[in-house]
Structure formats: C-alpha cells, structure tokens
Chain A
Amino acid sequence: MCDTEVFNAYRHRWWDMSQRRRTFISSVGTATAIGLAGCLGGDGGDGSGGDGGDTDSDGGDGDSGPAARVGMVYATGGLGDGSFNDQAQTGAIRSADELNIEYDESQPEAVQDFGSLQQQYAQSSNPDYDLVCCIGFLQADALTETASQYPEQDFMIVDSVVEADNVGSYVFGEHQGSFLIGLMAAKLTSQDFSAGTGSTQSDSTSVGFVGGVEGDLIGRFEAGYKAGVKHAEEDVDVQTAYVGDFNDPSGGQEAALSMYESGADIVYHAAGNTGTGVFRAAQEAERFAVGVDRDQSVTKSDFSDVILASMVKRVDNAVYTSVESVVNDNFEGGAVNTLGLEQNGVEAVYGQQLGSEIPQGVKDEVSEIRQSIIDGDISVPTDPDNV
C-alpha cells in the first residue's frame, strides 16, 4: 500500500468516528486534568500548613491572620523523597510552628512547570504571598524571569544564585561536608569494619560516588568527596557514576551494585530519589552507603542498617531564616548567603543505628579536619577536575 492510501484510509476513519471520538477525548482530557490537579494540589491536608481560606479560624494569638504567607515551590523529586524536599518542608513546618506563618505547597512535575508555579504565587492577591521559596537549582532560570516580572514580590532560592533585587539566594558548602564524608569513607575502607548488615572487604580499598545529573552542583559533592578520600588515604580508589536522573532508583541500584561488585565498600550518593536504589544495593551487597541532604538513616529507616552517615544540608535552616527575615521585615533581596560548615549549613551526621559503631578515632579525625576547614587551613575544591 502506498503512503497516500494509508493516509486516506486513516482520514476516512477519522471522520467516520469523529463524533464518538470527540466525547472520548474530552473525557480523557478531564481525567488527565484531574490527575495533574492532584499532583500540584497545595496543602496536602496534613494540617501543618493551613490553607489560605480560613483567615481567623486558628484564633490562638488574638490577631487574625498569620504573620506571613509563604509559597513553597519544591524541586522535581517531590515530597516523600526522604531528602532534599522533605528537608525544605521541615523548615516550612518549623516556620509555621514558631513564626505563626501559613504556607502553601506545590510539587512541580517537571522543569517546565517551575515558571508557572512561581508566577501563580507571585500574582496571587487572595491570599497575597509575602515570600515565594524556590527549592532547587533547576528553578534558577525560571526565577530569573519571574523575579523581573514581579519586582514587588520577594523570592528566595536554594542552591543557586539569582541576581535580582527581590531574590535572596542561599547556597551551601556541599564540597566541605562531602570532604568529611570522603575522609570517613577512606578511613573505614582501609580497615576491617563491620556493623549492622554491612562490612568492609579487608582486601580492597575502594569507595564509590553516585551522582544524579552531572553539573556544577553535584560536581561540588563529587569534588569534595574525592578530595576528602585523597586527603585521608592516597591509594584509595574512587569509582564515580552519574545516572542521569534524580528519579531513577533502578539506575541508582545498578550503578551502586556495579561499584560494590568491583570492590567498593562505601557508596555515597547525591542523587535524590535515585539514591533509594543505592541503599537497596547496599543491603543486597551487604556493604555501606552514605545518604545526603537529610539524616537518611531516619527518613529512610528501612535502610538504617547500611547508612553510615549522611551529608545533611540544612535546607530547612535556609527556608526558616528567609521566612524569619520576612516576618521581621529585614529581608535582604539580592544577598547571597553561603551556608558552609562554619554556619552549620552542612554537617556530616552519623547514622542513627550505625553511628555508634564507627571507631572513635575516625570520628575524632573528622571533627579535627572539620575545624581545619573552618579555620581555612584546608581549602576544598569545588570542581572534580581539580582534585
């Protein structure tokens, strides 16, 4: 059959069926719209946020209405990732508790949703939002545009710098925290160590790093980690892989398994949801993993028997600080706030279950090096090519 014949046959059937199909498509459209609405749906009904509708029902402090209203636009990993977004939410919950603010949340499906969600909060007048928190470096491009369209609206962004007078930027010293993790990993792979489900292979000194999407931000984790390993033990080998996605647990699992199989004892991940696969792999291989962004031995407690430590990024502090400044009327637009080891913006937090089994000598060394980094005696690279 030639092409035009096929085309005509299709066109014929198209017209033939058009009536029925139209109703069908419109119902599909509705279903999809409902689905999307569900995903973007705001306050999630857990009561901690409160919604904009009832202004004076909480009654507690005499004054009607909250001290401020905050719109949260999360990163694409979504809530329940047990790391980055949940940590940001912790900050919002704390602000709501301590500063009497109300917040609304939205969870973007994809990068192209950031702009419209930011604008949705920025242009809303009922309720009027005092601050829009943009969580994650991928929002920077969209925010640059949104911020210039709404010069009266205050924004804050985590993990990236947006140069605009109405945007406060919060960046972290991920490389510094990762340096400490690298140091710990190198020390442990070089000795016989077993705790929980895992143990290190005495004949191999190798550690691994699984990244989400390659780029400047995750590069800082990798650079700090590698530098930390090298600082501790010259001859420990570091295997790295990028899965190419922050939401691909199967990929994370395969990447980590291949590292464990070629001798890695400890794998550190900076890969959001992809990291769930890394923990799963650690349990299968009976080795160790290191979490990121939050204390994942708590948030992913199913895996607490393999999580040695987590490189915690206090995204909650960034959110809380910015909300506090808005409440106190001293929000500094255009400022770049760096939260490193010194500001407790990043920390190496030992695992809930395994932390107590890590030798004291290793812990002492970690806190010693932490002090040297704060004092400026050790400078940590931010680019993996410079390690």
Chain B
Amino acid sequence: MTNDSAMDRLLSASGRLFIAAAAFLTLAVLAGFGLLAPASTPGQIFWVLASKSTLSSTLRLSVPIVLAALGGIFAEKSGIINIGLEGLLIISAFAAIFGADATGSLWLGFLIGIVASTLLAAVFAVVCIEFRADQIIAGLAVWLIALGLAPFASQVFYGGPNTSNVGTFDTITVPALADIPFFGALFDASPAVYIMFLAVAASWYVLNRTTFGRWVRAAGENPKALDTAGVDVSRVRYAAVLLSGVLSGMGGAALAINIGQFTGNGPTMVNGKGFIAIVAYLFGNYNPVGALLSTTLFAGLDAVQLRLQTADVIAVPDSLVQTIPFVAVIVVLALVGKTRLPEAAGEHYESGEE
C-alpha cells in the first residue's frame, strides 16, 4: 500500500515533469524559429505565442475556470467531491447580470452572483453532509438544476434565454508597466483578472499556512483524527463547500460581466468551463498555483487557436483547431492519470458521538 502510493507519486511527478519539459522544449524550438526565421510557420506561431494580446486573452478566458477550480480544491480537499462547479458558474452568471440589471451597479451584481452560487452550494452541502447523498449524483443534480433554472429565470424576467445588456467592468491599467512587451498584459486587465490572482494567492495561503487549511486537509485525508482532536468534521466540510460556492460565484459573475449579458441557450455561456475546472485542479494536483498554471495552458491554447485562425498561419481546418484544448485535456489525463485523491474524498463521515 505505502509502496504503491509512493510509486504513484513518483509516476505522477515524472508525468508532470515530462509535460513541462516537452512544453519547454517545444517553446525553445519555436523561439529559435521565431528569431532566425520569423516568416516561417513555426516562427509565426512563436510570435503569436509571445504577443501581449495572446496573454491578455488567455487571462480573460482563465478567470472563470481558475476561480471554479479553486472552489473545487477546497471542497475536495475537505472530502466533498464537488462536480457541480459548472452549475455554480451558471447560476452565478445569471444572478450577476440579473442583480446588476436590478440594482444598476455592476459590483452589487457581482455580489449577488456570489450569493446565488453560495446558496446553491449550501443546498449541495446539506444534501451531501446532512442527508449523506452520493456526492457525484448530488453534484450532477446541482449542474442540472442550474442548467434548467437559469434559462428559466431568464425566460421569466427577459422573455427569452438571453438577458439584456448591463455593461462591463472598466479595465485597470497600471501606467508604464502596461507597456512592457508580453507581460504588460498583466498590468492592463479587467478587475476580474486581478481578483483571480488574489484568490489564487489567498487560497494557497489558507490551505497551506492556516489552521483552517489544516482542518480542511485533515477532513479530507483522515476525518477521524480531526474528530479526535475535537474539531467538528461536518462544520469544516460545510465551510469548505460554501467557500467553493463563493469562489465559483466570483468566476461565474466575472464571466457574465465580462460580456455584460447572460446567454442561456444549450449549455449556456458557461459551456463546460466548470468541467474544465475539475480537470485543471486534478492536473494541478489540488494546488491552487498548479490549477492556475494548468488553466492558463488550456485557455492559452484556446486564445492561440483563435489567433492562428485569424493570422491564417496554418491551413488546418478550423473545426480541428478548435478541438485542440479538448485533445490536450485527454492527453493530460492519460499522462497524469496518477493524481491522488484525498483519502476520504467522496465518503461520508459519521462522528462517533451520534
């Protein structure tokens, strides 16, 4: 058993290292082309990769995925697998626009989005913790409820699955720093992007450096020990799931306010971002920084493929280019399939006192 998990960890570490090395090598080769033969196809790809606009596009696309992934990390670290992230994003995206429309303030709308997502997460927590429902099924239910409820509410209030427009946040530009090539994108972005970076840092700190973080990890790894130490496991898990609602709510609200409208047809404007978030934190091995990096990889591919299309660099059929992020997800899962779940994730914990 110990040998196995040690082996697993080694394999997963080498898998990640392998991917990192491969990515670095590819980048180095492209950079070589970019410098020596900027007009060649690989050279052009390099300049697309190295452009400031690709980075800022990547950051914008990353925001909802990273925030949902952070929420997923808290929930799962505490032992509750939350696959309802997609649903939390959907409900908060709608509520944010509705709130902004009703109150006339984008920031109030943002808050209302967070509240809606947190309420739905609370329902999920009660169902999983109090009523001991299977977490996977309850998570799917969260998704399905939001998928039905948000377009329905839009139908009621706006007469169709699409809401009206409420406007967007103004970008915050740091003078001088914003003019740096490539990295300038970090200083010329919407408030949501800064919120994302703050949330990543705060999540990492809370998980690894605070008592609450230790409790969360213990609730997922060894709830019995935590219980013995006199901490109420259920309360820690409630807190963690609610936190996942708050974080996902920020993600969904940011997604919708970035456009200023909620569009609710088919898979809605969220369009699978919650599920990519799950992949992102698994690939990032439950580390907030890892989740940020893996998300920028996926979102970056998305941003790059749009630019390769417009620049007409590679004559690959567009529909094929559009599958790149999803193929990447599969490859990543196959190579890094050894990600270790928290020991007690998915299991209900019953305190001995009852």
Kindly list chain B residues whose C-beta atoms are within 8 Å of the C-beta of A79. 159-162
Kindly list chain B residues whose C-beta atoms are within 8 Å of the C-beta of A241. 306, 309-310, 318
Those of B276-329 within 8 Å (CB) of chain A:
302-303, 306-307, 309-312, 317-319, 322
In the bound complex, do residue B303 and residue A78 qualify as a contact, i.e. CB atoms below 8 Å apart?
A: no
Q: How many residues of B contact A (CB 8 A)?
A: 59
In the bound complex, do residue B133 and residue A249 qualify as a contact, i.e. CB atoms below 8 Å apart?
A: no
In the bound complex, do residue B263 and residue A249 qualify as a contact, i.e. CB atoms below 8 Å apart?
A: yes
From B57, B302, B318, give the contact of A257 (CB < 8 A).
Answer: B57
In the bound complex, do residue A251 and residue B162 qualify as a contact, i.e. CB atoms below 8 Å apart?
A: no
B127 at interface by CB-CB < 8 Å: yes
Chain-B contact segment, one of A24-32, A148-156, A159-167, A306-314: A24-32
A265 at interface by CB-CB < 8 Å: no
A39-B151, A249-B269, A250-B269 are known contacts. Are A28 and B145 too (CB-CB below 8 A)? yes
A359 at interface by CB-CB < 8 Å: no
From B138, B145, B155, give the contact of A41 (CB < 8 A).
Answer: B155
B259 at interface by CB-CB < 8 Å: yes
Tell me the bound Cα distance from A248 to B151 in angstroms: 15
B141 at interface by CB-CB < 8 Å: yes
Tell me the bound Cα distance from A46 to B147 in angstroms: 24
Kindly list chain A residues whose C-beta atoms are within 8 Å of the C-beta of B147. 32, 35
B95 at interface by CB-CB < 8 Å: no
B167 at interface by CB-CB < 8 Å: yes
Kindly list chain B residues whose C-beta atoms are within 8 Å of the C-beta of A276. 165, 259, 261, 263
Fill in one digit per residue for B141-152: 1 if any A CB lies within 8 Å of its CB, else 0.
Answer: 100110111011
Fill in one digit per residue for B111-147: 1 if any A CB lies within 8 Å of its CB, else 0.
Answer: 0000000000000000100011110011001001101
Residue of A at shortest CB range from B262?
Answer: A249
B60 at interface by CB-CB < 8 Å: yes
In the bound complex, do residue B61 and residue A38 qualify as a contact, i.e. CB atoms below 8 Å apart?
A: no
Tell me the bound Cα distance from A82 to B263 in angstroms: 12
In the bound complex, do residue B261 and residue A249 qualify as a contact, i.e. CB atoms below 8 Å apart?
A: yes
Residue of B at shortest CB range from A261?
Answer: B53
A247-B265, A254-B57 are known contacts. Are A44 and B165 too (CB-CB below 8 A)? no
Kindly list chain B residues whose C-beta atoms are within 8 Å of the C-beta of A248. 269, 271
B168 at interface by CB-CB < 8 Å: yes
Counted as pairs of residues, one from A and one from B, with CB atoms less than 8 Å apart, the total is 170
Fill in one digit per residue for A44-83: 1 if any B CB lies within 8 Å of its CB, else 0.
Answer: 1010000000000000000000000000000011111110
Those of A240-266 within 8 Å (CB) of chain B:
240-245, 247-251, 253-255, 257-259, 261-262
In the bound complex, do residue B60 and residue A78 qualify as a contact, i.e. CB atoms below 8 Å apart?
A: no
Which of B57, B138, B310 has the largest number of chain A CB atoms within 10 A? B310
In the bound complex, do residue A107 and residue B134 qualify as a contact, i.e. CB atoms below 8 Å apart?
A: no
Kindly list chain A residues whose C-beta atoms are within 8 Å of the C-beta of B168. 280
Residue of B at shortest CB range from A41?
Answer: B155
Kindly list chain A residues whose C-beta atoms are within 8 Å of the C-beta of B149. 31, 35
In the bound complex, do residue A250 and residue B165 qualify as a contact, i.e. CB atoms below 8 Å apart?
A: no
Q: How far is the CB of B327 from chain A (nearest CB, A)?
A: 14
Fill in one digit per residue for A361-384: 1 if any B CB lies within 8 Å of its CB, else 0.
Answer: 000000000000000000000000
In the bound complex, do residue A78 and residue B264 qualify as a contact, i.e. CB atoms below 8 Å apart?
A: yes
Tell me the bound Cα distance from A284 to B319 in angstroms: 27
Tell me the bound Cα distance from A78 to B307 in angstroms: 29
Which of A33, A242, A253, A254 has the largest number of chain B CB atoms within 10 A? A254
A31-B145, A38-B156 are known contacts. Are A242 and B132 too (CB-CB below 8 A)? no
In the bound complex, do residue B309 and residue A240 qualify as a contact, i.e. CB atoms below 8 Å apart?
A: yes
A17-B132, A248-B271, A261-B53 are known contacts. Are A81 and B162 too (CB-CB below 8 A)? yes
In the bound complex, do residue B152 and residue A39 qualify as a contact, i.e. CB atoms below 8 Å apart?
A: yes
A20-B131, A35-B145 are known contacts. Are A109 and B57 too (CB-CB below 8 A)? no
In the bound complex, do residue A254 and residue B259 qualify as a contact, i.e. CB atoms below 8 Å apart?
A: no
In the bound complex, do residue A258 and residue B306 qualify as a contact, i.e. CB atoms below 8 Å apart?
A: yes
Kindly list chain A residues whose C-beta atoms are within 8 Å of the C-beta of B302. 254
Kindly list chain A residues whose C-beta atoms are within 8 Å of the C-beta of B260. 280, 302
Can you list the 3 inter-chain pairs with the closest CB atoms, starting with the nearest?
A: A35-B148, A80-B160, A38-B152
14 contacts between A and B (CB under 8 A): A28-B145, A31-B145, A35-B148, A36-B148, A38-B156, A39-B151, A79-B162, A248-B271, A254-B57, A258-B307, A258-B310, A273-B263, A280-B260, A302-B165
B residues whose Cβ falls under 8 Å from a Cβ of A: 51, 53-54, 57, 60-61, 127, 131-134, 137-138, 141, 144-145, 147-149, 151-152, 155-156, 158-165, 167-168, 171, 255, 258-261, 263-266, 268-269, 271, 302-303, 306-307, 309-312, 317-319, 322, 348
- New A-B pairs, 9, CB < 8 Å, besides A41-B155, A109-B265, A249-B263: A35-B152, A39-B152, A80-B161, A247-B268, A250-B61, A250-B255, A254-B60, A257-B57, A300-B165
